Each structure stands twice: as C-alpha cells, then as structure tokens.
Structure 1
Amino acid sequence: MNTDTLTGTATDLGGKLKEGIGAATGDKTLQSQGKADQLGGKVQQTYGEAKDVVEDTIRPVIDYVRQFVRERPFASAALGGVLGIALINTLRGK
C-alpha cells in the first residue's frame, strides 16, 4: 500500500462525512462537495492500487533481466543486437 492509496481512502472518507453533514443540514453545496471529494478519493485510490500492481508485476521481470545480463553478458549483447536488427527492419517495413 502506498501513499496514494492511503490519501485516496482518507479523501473518500472525508467526502462521505461531508456529504452526510450536508444531507443532515440540508446543505446541497456541501453534499455535492462531498460527492466530488469521494470521486477524487476513489480516483487517487485506484491510481495507487494500479501503481502497486505495476510494481509487483514489473519489478521481478526487471530484476530477472538484470541478473541475466550480469550472468551472461555475451548472450545479452547478441540478443540485443538481434532485437535491434529486428526493430530496424520493422521500422523500415521489411
């Protein structure tokens, strides 16, 4: 869990509280501000969760590639050359 997830959750809860107070007092402006805060909080919370998923998914791949390059530098260079040639040929339309 990162700071975006925590901040988004707190903003969402604050928005719910603000909406509840607005409903209790009959203040439509406060209610709509609460709903807007909830939406912003949910967006930030979702962004934080997405960052966690990317970190958990991509980080092991990057670590594996780094280990492969350290253990097999010549194979890595050859693989990089082949991929480079394939990319150039793809961009040239061959």
Structure 2
Amino acid sequence: MNKDQIKGTAKDIAGKVQESAGKIIGSEEQEIKGLQKQVEGKLEKNIGDAREAIEKTVKKVTNP
C-alpha cells in the first residue's frame, strides 16, 4: 500500500463522517463538503492503485 492509497482511504472515511454529521445536524453545506471529500479520497486512492499496478508491472518486466 502506498501513501496515496492510505491518504485517499482516510479522506473518503472522513468525508463519510462529515456527510453523516451534516445529515444529523441538518446542514446541507456539511453534507456537500463530505461528499466532495469522499470523491477526492476515492480519486486519490485510485491514483495510488494505478501507481502500484504500474510499479508491479515494471518490476515484472525488468525482473522476469
């Protein structure tokens, strides 16, 4: 697991918490911010997943 995957997962979880808190307190603004944070987190995790896949492929090609 690389830093982008970890940061992305953490940001996604934080966004879910923020969205839920927004629903509880009736703040649409907080719900939207939470959803935005979730999207950012998922994108960051996907970047980390892609980086990891590329690194594994490069290792396979350079070390058959």
TM-score, normalising length: structure 1:
0.65
Which of these two proteins has the greater Rg computed from alpha carbons? 1
Q: Distance in 1 between matches of 2:37 and 2:51?
A: 21
Root-mean-square deviation (Å): 0.9
Poorly superposed stretches of 4+, deviation over 3 Å: none
Corresponding residue for residue 24 of structure 1 = 24
Shift of 1:33: 0.1
- The aligned runs of 1:43-82 (5 Å cut-off) are 43-64=43-64
Unaligned runs of 5+ in 2: none
TM-score, normalising length: structure 2:
0.94
The aligned amino acid for 1:33 is K
Alignment length, in residue pairs? Answer: 64
Q: Distance in 2 between matches of 1:22 and 1:60?
A: 46
The aligned amino acid for 1:4 is D
Give the number of the structure with larger relative contact order, counting CA–CA contacts within 8 Å between residues 6 or more apart: 2
Shift of 1:34: 0.1
